[in-house]
Copies of this chain bind each other. A is one copy, B any other.
Amino acid sequence: MQANLPHLQSTFTTDCVIFGFHEGALKVLLIERNEYPFKGWWALPGFFVDHSETIDDAVKRILYEHTGLRGIFMEQLYTFGDLKRHPQGRIITVAYYALLRLDDLKSQPEPVTDYARQAVWHPLDDLPELAFDHRHIIDKAIQKIRRKISYSPIAFELLPEKFTLTQLQQLYEAIWGRKLDKRNFRKKMLNYNILKELPEFQRGVSYRAARLYKLDKRKYAKVFQNELTFSR
């Protein structure tokens, strides 16, 4: 079973749940492992943390290797240290989650690592069986963003710079897993005064084009301090 083991540079790793949002659905970026253990299985992008880098830096590196992007929003999630989570012994993993604007990607992500055969976006509601305790990590990440989206404007990290109110609403609906009332949603969201109405509209749709908005960074900063509450 265990040919070609990753050399144990350290006894802890980091794994990252990379969320994307496309066509009304939340996606997670998974890799197909090219190394034992769990060779051929789907897993979260992750790797051993080097002695000379911080955990944050390791995650940034992993994000770059899989998406080609820097400056992605990321945050630590939880540290998993069950004795049996890794077949090669007790390896602790510091899990992160990241939020990615899918439209920033020029193309399908091509991992530049040799431990991943391919990297593919999977819809959250249809995930394959995953290596290690990665399914559990993803569940924890969803819980986290479900809560966080109601008091902090992380939603905008998943949307293109210019977006419609419907896109924003669909994102909340996808994260919370239930429908919201259109009128109430718009009323409340616009009341926060953190959106800037643009003199632009959607293009290329075969129905009435929706107005585009973008985040007003100045007001956004204030809201981040005072914390906005968007629940129910």
Contact = CB atoms under 8 A, between A and B. Distances in A.
Contact of A54 (B83, B89, B229): B83
A12 interface: yes
Contact of A81 (B55, B81, B151, B231): B55
A49 interface: yes
B49 A81 contact: yes
B76 A78 contact: yes
Interface in A126-161: 147, 151
Nearest to A79: B79
Interface in A52-72: 52-56
Nearest to A51: B90
Nearest to A80: B55
Nearest to A95: B79
A82 B55 CA distance: 8
Copies in the complex: 2
A11 interface: yes
Interface in A80-127: 81-83, 89-90, 92, 94
A34 to B, nearest CB: 27
Contacts of A151: 147
A231 B78 CA distance: 25
A10 interface: yes
Contact of A55 (B52, B89, B92, B231): B92
A47 to B, nearest CB: 15
B94 A81 contact: yes
A94 B82 contact: no
A52 B84 CA distance: 10
Interface of A: 10-12, 49, 51-56, 76, 78-79, 81-83, 89-90, 92, 94, 147, 151, 229, 231
26 contacts: A10-B11, A11-B11, A11-B12, A12-B12, A12-B92, A49-B81, A51-B89, A51-B90, A52-B83, A52-B90, A53-B83, A54-B81, A54-B82, A54-B83, A55-B79, A55-B81, A55-B92, A56-B81, A76-B78, A76-B79, A79-B79, A79-B94, A81-B94, A92-B94, A147-B151, A229-B231
